[in-house]
């Protein structure tokens, strides 16, 4: 029994050590609380969209326009993500099928690459539209926020917002 407890403890320790950021459970980086300050017992992390808005220091009008852009990009991403899931499935099935040759896998890989590029094009177009909203002093902060936009736009494997991020823009609102 003791060996099982130690084994479970070692697994939890390994998982905890593998997480980036550390901090002992204390919010770091872009964190907010229910009460709006660090003193609240219910701290939560900002969604990717909220982080994007905070890093770019979007004003109220820019925020509203950016929300519309992200919403439209999310809706456009649904069919692209569904096609990517199908392409992944087809590729895996071809790799597992002993009758399938390397030509079939190469053809399916090329199709998947094309679909992935189309999805990234949707993200890039949304990013360009958000950059067009920015004032000159905000543009210098735009490039590092692309990954946050991609997280806000990307959908889960079945076309719904990913459970990892949740919320209408990738997190709780």
Q: Are residues 148 and 72 in the same domain?
A: yes
Cα separation, 173 vs 67, in Å, equals: 12
Q: Which residue has the tokens 């990009």?
A: 73
Whether 76 maps to a domain, the answer reads: yes
Q: Which residues contact 139 (CB under 8 A, 6 or more apart)?
A: 131
Residue 31 three-state SS:
strand
Q: Determine if the pTM surpasses 0.85.
A: no
Q: Tens-of-pLDDT digits for all 173 residues of the chain?
A: 555 665 555 555 565 555 554 444 445 455 544 445 555 556 678 888 888 899 999 999 999 999 999 999 999 998 988 998 999 999 888 888 888 888 888 898 999 999 999 989 999 999 999 999 999 989 888 888 888 888 888 854 444 444 444 444 444 43
Task: Output the CA–CA distances (angstroms, integers) from residue 91 to 62, 82, 84, 106, 159, in the order listed.
Answer: 41, 14, 10, 9, 19
Residues 134 and 60 in one domain: yes
- Cα separation, 28 vs 39, in Å, equals 14
Same-domain status, 21 and 56: no
Q: Which domain holds residue 29?
A: 2-45
Distance, CA of 113 to CA of 147 (rounded, Å): 19
Any idea what DSSP says for residue 20?
Answer: S
| pLDDT given for residue 155 in this prediction | 53
The whole-angstrom separation of Cα 107 and Cα 73 is 28
In this structure, the answer to whether residues 37 and 55 fall within a common structural domain is no
57 and 128, same domain (yes or no): yes
Residue where a domain stops, chosen among 45, 60, 78: 45
d(CA 54, CA 154): 19
Q: Where is 114: in which H helix or E strand?
A: helix 102-133
Please report whether residue 158 resides in a domain.
no
Does 12 share its domain with 73? no
What's the domain count of the chain?
Answer: 2
Cα separations in angstroms, 165 against 45, 75, 168: 11, 16, 9
The CATH number given to whatever domain includes residue 102 is: 1.20.120.1490
Shared domain for 41 and 56, answered yes or no, is no
Q: Domain check: are 76 and 117 in the same one? A: yes
């Amino acid at each position: 029994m003791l060996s099982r407890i130690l084994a479970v403890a070692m697994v939890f320790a390994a998982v905890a050590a593998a997480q980036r950021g550390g901090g002992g459970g204390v919010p770091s980086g872009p964190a907010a609380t229910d009460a709006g300050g660090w003193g609240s017992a219910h701290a939560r992390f900002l969604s990717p969209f909220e982080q994007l808005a905070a890093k770019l220091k979007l004003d109220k009008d820019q925020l509203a326009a950016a929300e519309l852009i992200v919403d439209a990009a999310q809706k456009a991403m649904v069919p692209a993500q569904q096609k990517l899931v199908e392409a992944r499935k087809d590729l895996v099935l071809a790799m597992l099928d002993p009758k399938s040759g390397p030509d079939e896998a190469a053809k399916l890989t090329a199709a998947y690459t094309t679909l992935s590029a189309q999805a990234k094009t949707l993200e890039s177009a949304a990013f360009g539209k958000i950059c067009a909203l920015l004032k000159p002093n905000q543009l210098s902060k735009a490039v590092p926020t692309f990954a946050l936009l991609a997280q806000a736009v990307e959908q889960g494997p079945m076309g719904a917002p990913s459970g990892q991020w949740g919320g209408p823009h990738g997190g709780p609102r």
